[in-house]
Amino acid sequence: MGVQHHKMFIGGEWRDAADAYEIRNPANEELVATVAKGGADDVDAAVAAARAAFRSGCWSGLTGDERRAVMLRIAEGVSENLEELIELEIAANGATVRQAGGFHIGLAAPHMTYFAELAAKHEVERGIATAPYPTISHNILRREPIGVCAGILPWNFPLVLSLWKIGPALAAGNTVVIKTDEKTPLSTLAFARIAHEAGLPAGVLNVITGDGEDVGARLASHPDVGKVAFTGSTAVGREIMRLASQTVKKVSLELGGKGAAVVLDDADLETVADAALFGCCLYSGQMCESITRLIVPDSIHDELVARIVARAATIKLGDPADYDTDLGPVISAEQHERILSYLQIGRDEGATVATGGGVPEGPGFEKGFWVQPTVFTDVTNDMRIAREEIFGPVLTVIRYSGDPAEGVAIANDSIYGLSAAVWSGDYERALEVAAKLEAGTVWVNDVHMVTPELPFGGYKQSGLGRELGPDALNEYSEVKHIHVDLSQRREARAYDMVLSDG
Ligand code: NAD
């Protein structure tokens, strides 16, 4: 099969650009596809299409039940096209077949279904009883769609993270413009096709592909965009906020993390060893809510590290399409270089490489961007490898006395606050620690548990607002208060504050 060229999806039509990106397989660097490289003009066209669709009422004018029906058809379409989507995600993202089926793509239909159900449950209008001051009145609260909502996406979970924006935005009656990451637009473009075939009206969902500084920046500052939802690095998140401030857009941000797990001295070591590796190695550590700092009491440190190192040796790197592969490549040459530079920084800072620490060698690894699962010990929380997001399969192990307060203090000593975990055999002790950890999600005796039913987002510089959960549509709606005077008497109103009698 030849290499396919993909266009952008704007106003229900496929639109090409003069330039194109090459999408390469991170496991072997082979060309997978080419994709239109859009520009600011394409943003303007997409926003105009979304605005026209919004104003026409073709979507915003539907009832929640009607929107639910279309969204459920889209979810069915995703399920029907599962094989194609999984293949794209393996080829363009380096997701292993098990991860793509269970997570990257496997979660797309259930998440879309969840948002479809929220569309039907969304309370659009509610009467509020008020005190009869200054005059008797009836009051109505309405939740109305914002208008055109933009989503700017990273490369790590292009489809699921798109749906975390598209799903609630559509459910609340908005229209959407998505900008995918330059490296991973294929599954989101395929989703746009599926949504169109399922009956989503033209202009309601638009997908553009282009550079961040050009297309992303135009979208974040466009006067006709009412909200921008961004997932990506904290540095770009700050820039998005700055750009959006020019027109006072609503902003939600899902940014970086440096997740910490506090292990208490009564934790089950075998489970913690597995969880530590699952926490830092899933999708080669390229997850914002990865657990990358393991905070371990002196009393169990050596035994736990020995178990983690032994377990790490069983992780099989290789062809992501092979069902037996545990770990695939990292996304790009740039990320590869960045991760390797952190491995060197860790050594230079005095940390010890307990396992991994480099690039695997031999057949299958001649091309592509590979990093061994790596565990650093002798790490202190002031080292760069403990403070900065590496975004690779790298775990830092930090010792503490065993006093939970000290473990919590180390965990919270970070600019980030996306995820954290605590491990203990005693739920009371664990919950006391969980309450003190500064993170949007805290797992007790688990990691990586993210579900559409529960809100997800960050404390501190990990973000702003929450995605998912029963209130997800609130981030995509405006609240309007309508006051209806019921007194019908001129003299009962408060006009005499300005207008004297007579
Ligand atoms: P990135 O911030 O470099 O890029 C994200 C998106 O922003 C891309 O689409 C990019 O083109 C765009 N962009 C870049 N510069 C821009 C600008 N000046 N204006 C507008 N848009 C611009 O992030 P990345 O490297 O693609 O992704 C990795 C980061 O994402 C990590 O820091 C990770 O923690 C974070 N992340 C967070 C979550 C979360 O939910 N909190 C989820 C996944 C990834």
Inter-CA distances, 433 with 27, 94, 101, 267, Å: 40, 36, 34, 13
To the nearest 10 degrees (0 to 180), the angle between helices 186-197 and 64-80 is 120
Pick from 236, 284, 391 the residue to mutate for probing ligand 1's pocket: most ligand atoms within 8 Å of its CB. Answer: 236
Half-sphere exposure of 379 (CA within 13 A, CB side): 28
With a 6 Å cutoff on the Cβ, whether 155 touches ligand 1 is: yes
Amino acid identity for residue 238 in this structure:
R
Indicate which residues carry an active-site annotation: 254, 288
DSSP state of 2: P
pLDDT of the chain, 502 residues: tens digit per residue: 579 999 999 999 999 999 999 999 999 999 999 999 999 999 999 999 999 999 999 999 999 999 999 999 999 999 999 999 999 999 999 999 999 999 999 999 999 999 999 999 999 999 988 777 778 889 999 999 999 999 999 999 999 999 999 999 999 999 999 999 999 999 999 999 999 999 999 999 999 999 999 999 999 999 999 999 999 999 999 999 999 999 999 999 999 999 999 999 999 999 999 999 999 999 999 999 999 999 999 999 999 999 999 999 999 999 999 999 999 999 999 999 999 999 999 999 999 999 999 999 999 999 999 999 999 999 999 999 999 999 999 999 999 999 999 999 999 999 999 999 999 999 999 999 999 999 999 999 999 999 999 999 999 999 999 999 999 999 999 999 999 988 888 777 778 888 886 5
With a 6 Å cutoff on the Cβ, whether 418 touches ligand 1 is: yes
Walk me through the domains of the chain, giving residue ranges and CATH numbers: 4-124+145-255+462-481 (3.40.605.10), 259-444 (3.40.309.10)
With a 6 Å cutoff on the Cβ, whether 468 touches ligand 1 is: no
Q: Whose CA is nearest to atom 40 of ligand 1?
A: 254
With a 6 Å cutoff on the Cβ, whether 334 touches ligand 1 is: no
236 CA from centroid of ligand 1 (Å): 6
With a 6 Å cutoff on the Cβ, whether 210 touches ligand 1 is: no
Q: For residue 467, which phi and psi values (nearest 5 degrees)?
A: -105, 165
240-249: Cβ within 8 A, 24+ apart:
240/152, 240/216, 241/464, 243/217, 244/220, 246/221, 247/221, 247/222, 247/223, 249/220, 249/225
Q: For residue 82, which phi and psi values (nearest 5 degrees)?
A: -55, -45
Interior CA angle at 353 toward 351 and 356, to 5°?
150
457 CA from centroid of ligand 1 (Å): 15
242 CA from centroid of ligand 1 (Å): 15
Inter-CA distances, 34 with 16, 178, 195, 197, 251, Å: 11, 19, 22, 23, 31
267 CA from centroid of ligand 1 (Å): 35
Q: Whose CA is nearest to atom 12 of ligand 1?
A: 212
Strands 148-152 and 175-180: parallel
Interior CA angle at 497 toward 496 and 502, to 5°?
30
Do residues 330 and 369 touch, judged by C-beta distance below 8 A? Answer: yes
Q: For residue 353, which phi and psi values (nearest 5 degrees)?
A: -85, 110
